[in-house]
Structure 1
């Protein structure tokens, strides 16, 4: 524990991704393009699903919610990075840091829950197709999404309150481009054992339980598909899940690389690269992954884009 007689910290300094001016210019341009692509791509998905009556089904309802969460997810970090570059400031207040951390992990949890809900939807559609409409009712879909918001909010509120009780003194430099929980705990001059315990127990359960549900769903889906006699039928069933599986692998792969590795395996460069993947790249790629493999969604997107071009 560090000395408690040091001056209390009221703000932090985010070091960002690079200290080299030329690299900063390039990274600013890359982040700006990626953020615009994320917002535009996900908003187009939401608009296409909302305006096309053929897409008013549980699968697309969950996908539109995932797109909304991805826009919010990216908006918690990238605008701050871009603004810091333009203003030449790297400071963030203590309350601002906690607020950013709260919303960042709220949307991480929501991504986590929505991917599990979408896996369950695919399980019902493939393993119990005759009962799909009676099982996946509108009321159940709304309840699943609303319940995800409630559980995610309570989980993140717990960790934010635990972080707010800590004292920070002396070093206030965060070697990151956003307020992440691990660097903040390292900067604290208070006892962080309770925070770490809750991350390893309650926090881990929140992340692992949906992942286990996804695995179980896809084990049942795989068994059901392998029982299909027609090769075309098997391919069609697997293709409906391919986009979701790609997003699941990308999301959980980067999360595991950052938060579920031994401390000896961590390095600032490796952690930063992995966090860029799940906070910036994954939300940007989701619309492309889902739309490229979905004929109905591609048709709806073409209609939306064509309508906008004619409007202008």
Structure 2
């Protein structure tokens, strides 16, 4: 960041506070019950995503392009909630609202990176389903391990670059108005509005960031399912339609859980009370990470069969050990 600032000019001086104050959830009645709920969501999220990653690692039959994307989604969910929830609880539950300047930028970077990757990972999963249904005979040629790994690597690099630029642009702002961030984390939009010098570059990137990580992914997913629906309508057999559509149910559920709360919150932004808006946004950031593994375990046939196989292997190994001990 120092190199970034030096490139802007040596004569520019910045007013950088020692710390920021996160105040988004302060003063809300009975908010401690919400913190208990967040802690429960975090524990379930950690356990669920860890289980999904473990199943994919242990079961070689799940080493497919689709489950590479599922593994990445579980990893991103785990990292995102681990970056956000413990710090959120520390700030509000244990009354540590002061966060150092550099720590706040790092907090912003990790939260935005993981939340953005969640949306882009849903794009990878929708593309996988699109190819599987429209080109079923060429699926293994078009959707290879190498392609999926390259796509996910591109998403990681793209998101890290964009979020890093957004964070670096904040370092050229002078924060002489206030240091109070009215959000539940170091929110980019709240931070650049506190600046007393020209914040136009940060304003521009705040406009393009939602387009890149929310609207483009959502539009791609919607058009993908329009093509999928059109393709399924051509299938003569009802049984084949149901069989093909079942493979999309889990993914459609993930898309709805991630995007619907975001769209509702931002559409009704002016009509929602500020406290309710902050709680809604915090739930939008945390809740999908808990539900994603539950949905995949309950609605995906391959995962359920994999769990049964792994449990049978475990039971057999225990029985073998008992027989050996008896002998």
Whether these two folds match at TM > 0.5 is yes
CA RMSD of aligned residues (A): 2.5
Among 275, 278, 281, which residue is 1:269 paired with? Answer: 275
Report how far residue 206 of structure 1 moved.
4.2
Distance 1:56 1:7, change over 3 A: closer
What's the CA shift string for 1:25-62, capped at 9, x where partnerless? x2232111110100100010000011112211111111
Match of 2:151 among 144, 155, 177: 144
Report the Cα offset of residue 83 of structure 1: 2.5
Q: Which residue of 2 aligns with 1:73?
A: 80
CA contact (8 A) 1:44 1:301 kept: no
The answer to whether the Cα contact below 8 Å between 2:15 and 2:174 also exists between their aligned partners in 1 is no
Shift of 1:90: 1.4
TM-score of the two chains, using structure 1 as the length reference: 0.88
Tell me the distance in 2 between the aligned counterparts of 1:173 and 1:153: 26
**Partner SS for 1:13:** strand
**2:35 equivalent in structure 1:** 28
Distance 1:262 1:235 in 2: 36
Contact 2:117–2:159 (Cα < 8 Å) also in 1: yes
The number of equivalent residue pairs is: 304
Aligned mates of 1:22, 1:252 — CA distance in 2: 28
Structure 1 residue 306 displacement after superposition: 7.6
Preserved contact between residue 72 and residue 107 of structure 1 (Cα < 8 Å) = yes
* CA distance in structure 2 between the aligned counterparts of 1:87 and 1:270, rounded to whole angstroms: 21
Task: Tell which deviates more after alignment, 208-217 or 123-132.
Answer: 208-217
Structure 1's 270 and 257: CA in aligned 2 closer, same or farther, altered over 3 A? farther
Q: Which residue of 2 aligns with 1:83?
A: 90
8 Å CA contact retained: 1:8, 1:170:
no
Q: Distance in 2 between matches of 1:198 and 1:20?
A: 31
**Structure 1 equivalent of residue 321 of structure 2:** none
What is residue 93 of structure 1 aligned with on the other side?
Answer: 100
TM-score after normalising by structure 2? 0.85
Which of these residues, 187, 191, 210, is aligned with residue 184 of structure 1? Answer: 191
- 1:196 aligned onto 2:203: yes
The match for 2:22 is 14
Q: Contact 1:7–1:170 at 8 Å: present in 2 too?
A: no
1:156/1:257 Cα in 2 relative to 1: closer, same or farther (>3 Å)? farther
Task: Kindly name which structure, 1 or 2, has the bigger radius of gyration based on alpha carbons.
Answer: 2
Contact 2:49 2:293 in 1 (8 A): yes
CA distance in 2, matches of 1:277, 1:46: 23
1:108 counterpart = 2:119 = no
Q: Which stretches in structure 1 are left out of the alignment for 5+ residues?
A: 1-5
